[in-house]
């Protein structure tokens, strides 16, 4: 019983900590973020397995983790509020060419991040070429360029 | 012309929810800082200025953690600045058996017995010299508030209370 409780509680604690820490998609990971993830996985391994390194324990822990994940996915489908709480939603960062500095500051982003996304996604160099920028729930910044008037 | 409301609904933005989430996030960061401070002070077990407690038990001083962690090794020591006699009996109440696994005792007792009062251990001491009797223990289960009693020699039993974190 305790191994199921361990796995489920570690899953929920990680979910809450990662959600609170803020959005950052895998694509945005810096090398140090990657190292941090490896350290976290190493740290949680002992808490997940305890001193029982048997195959039975490992199987039960894996099944519990997948089970909790499936359960959470079902909750998210069933109740959209749960999905919003767990995954968050999109945030408008640039509205009709005007940066929303409040949203940027609260999302811990700046104009440089918007411009970096604009260069990567659309090949845009200037803020004046951006109509809308949206921080997506997965941490990506989507850029919608201004319509060119001829 | 697109207005802000239609843009927000188009992308599915809920700014009120987002504002609430940002406020909650900042509160959670403050909680993180508080937890780190508590851990640094010893409130989460391990080391720290407030990690351990000392309790006088007759001529001895019991040094024990305030907070233990489930399945992590910890130490309870009973110290005599000046050993009063050649041998001493230490009794740990039955509650200890339910909460703690005893890994090692140093020095080894020359005799032990399970009694109604708990587990008794008898140790040789060098009269007049300082002595340390160390119990290396491992908590068996998380407990919000554990209380057991320790009896050292002829002194009355003293309560030993600590928390075992998961």
Helix (H), strand (E), coil (C) string for chain A: CHHHHHHHHHHHHHHHHHHHHCCCCHHHCCHHHHHHHHHHHHHHHHHHHCCCCCHHHHHHHHHHHHHHHHHHHHHHHHCHHHHHHHHCCCEEEEECCEECHHHHHHCCCCHHHHHHHHHHHHCCCCHHHEEEEEECCCCCEEEEECCCCC
Domain that holds residue A44: 2-87
Residue A123 lies in a domain: yes
* Nearest CA-CA distance, residue A52 and chain B, Å: 11
Q: Which residues of B touch A4 (CB under 8 A)?
A: none
Q: What is the pTM of this model?
A: 0.78
pLDDT score at B1: 43
Q: Give A21's Cβ-side CA count (13 Å radius).
A: 11
Chains A & B: contacts with CB separation below 8 Å: 41
Q: Please classify residue B18 by burial: count the beta carbons closer than 10 Å to its beta carbon, then call 0-12 exposed, 13-18 middle and 19+ buried.
A: buried
User: Are residue A57 and residue A128 in the same domain, yes or no?
Assistant: no
Q: Give A58's Cβ-side CA count (13 Å radius).
A: 4
Q: For residue B95, how far is the Cα from the chain centroid?
A: 15
Q: Which residues of B touch A50 (CB under 8 A)?
A: 71
User: Are residue A98 and residue A41 in the same domain, yes or no?
Assistant: no
For the stretch B17-69, pLDDT in tens is 889 999 999 999 999 999 999 999 999 988 889 999 999 998 899 999 999 99
User: Are residue A83 and residue A28 in the same domain, yes or no?
Assistant: yes
* Check: complex ipTM more than 0.85: no
Closest residue in A to B12 (Cα–Cα) = A90
Q: Which residues of A touch B28 (CB under 8 A)?
A: 20
CA–CA gap between residue B15 and residue A90 (Å, rounded):
9
User: Are residue A103 and residue A81 in the same domain, yes or no?
Assistant: no
User: Are residue A6 and residue A78 in the same domain, yes or no?
Assistant: yes
Q: Please classify residue B2 by burial: count the beta carbons closer than 10 Å to its beta carbon, then call 0-12 exposed, 13-18 middle and 19+ buried.
A: exposed
Residue A150 lies in a domain: no
Q: What are the angstrom distances between the C-alpha of B63 and each of A110, B51, B53, B79, B133?
A: 52, 10, 6, 8, 10
Q: Which residues of B touch A96 (CB under 8 A)?
A: 2
Q: Give domain limits for chain B.
A: 4-40, 52-165
Residue A27 lies in a domain: yes
CA–CA gap between residue A83 and residue A137 (Å, rounded):
10
* Nearest CA-CA distance, residue A22 and chain B, Å: 8
The CATH number of the structural domain formed by B52-165 is 2.60.40.680
* Nearest CA-CA distance, residue A17 and chain B, Å: 9
CATH of the domain at A115: 3.30.240.20
Q: How many domains does chain A have?
A: 2
By Cβ distance, the residue of B4, B18, B166 closest to A89 is B18
pLDDT score at B91: 95
User: Are residue A70 and residue A111 in the same domain, yes or no?
Assistant: no
User: Are residue A13 and residue A57 in the same domain, yes or no?
Assistant: yes
CA–CA gap between residue B123 and residue B131 (Å, rounded):
10
User: Are residue A68 and residue A95 in the same domain, yes or no?
Assistant: no
For the stretch B82-139, pLDDT in tens is 877 788 999 999 999 999 999 999 999 999 999 988 999 999 988 888 899 999 999 9
Look at residue A95 and tell me whether its pLDDT is greater than 50: yes
* Contact predicate B20/A106, CB 8 Å: no
- Rounding to the nearest 10 degrees, give the CA dihedral for residues B61, B41, B161, B131: -20
Residue A98 lies in a domain: yes
User: Are residue A13 and residue A38 in the same domain, yes or no?
Assistant: yes
Residue A21 lies in a domain: yes
């Amino acid at each position: 019983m305790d191994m199921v409780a361990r796995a489920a509680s570690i899953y929920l604690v990680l979910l809450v900590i990662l959600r609170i820490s803020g959005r950052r998609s895998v694509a945005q990971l810096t090398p140090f973020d990657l190292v941090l993830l490896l350290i976290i996985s190493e740290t949680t391994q002992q808490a997940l397995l305890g001193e029982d390194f048997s195959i039975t324990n490992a199987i039960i822990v894996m099944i519990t983790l997948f089970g909790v994940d499936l359960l959470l996915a079902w909750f998210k489908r069933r109740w959209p509020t749960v999905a919003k709480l767990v995954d968050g939603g999109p945030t408008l960062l640039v509205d009709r060419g005007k940066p929303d500095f409040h949203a940027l500051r609260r999302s811990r982003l700046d104009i440089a991040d918007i411009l970096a996304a604009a260069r990567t996604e659309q090949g845009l160099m200037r803020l004046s070429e951006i109509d809308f920028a949206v921080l997506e729930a997965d941490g990506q910044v989507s850029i919608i360029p201004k319509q060119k008037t001829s | 012309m697109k207005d802000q409301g239609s843009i927000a609904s188009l992308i599915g933005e809920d700014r009120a929810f987002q504002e609430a989430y940002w406020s909650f996030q900042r509160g959670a960061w403050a909680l993180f800082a508080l937890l780190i401070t508590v851990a640094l002070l010893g409130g989460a077990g391990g080391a720290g200025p407030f990690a351990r407690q000392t309790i006088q038990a007759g001529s001895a001083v019991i040094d024990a953690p305030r907070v233990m962690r489930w399945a992590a090794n910890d130490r309870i020591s009973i110290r005599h600045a000046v050993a009063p006699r050649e041998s001493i009996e230490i009794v740990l109440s039955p509650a200890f058996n339910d909460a703690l696994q005893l890994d090692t005792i140093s020095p080894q007792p020359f005799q032990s017995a399970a009694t109604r009062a708990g587990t008794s251990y008898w140790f040789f001491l060098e009269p007049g010299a300082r002595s340390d009797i160390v119990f290396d223990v491992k908590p068996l289960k998380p407990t919000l508030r554990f209380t057991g009693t320790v009896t050292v020699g002829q002194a009355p039993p003293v309560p030993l209370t600590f928390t075992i974190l998961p």
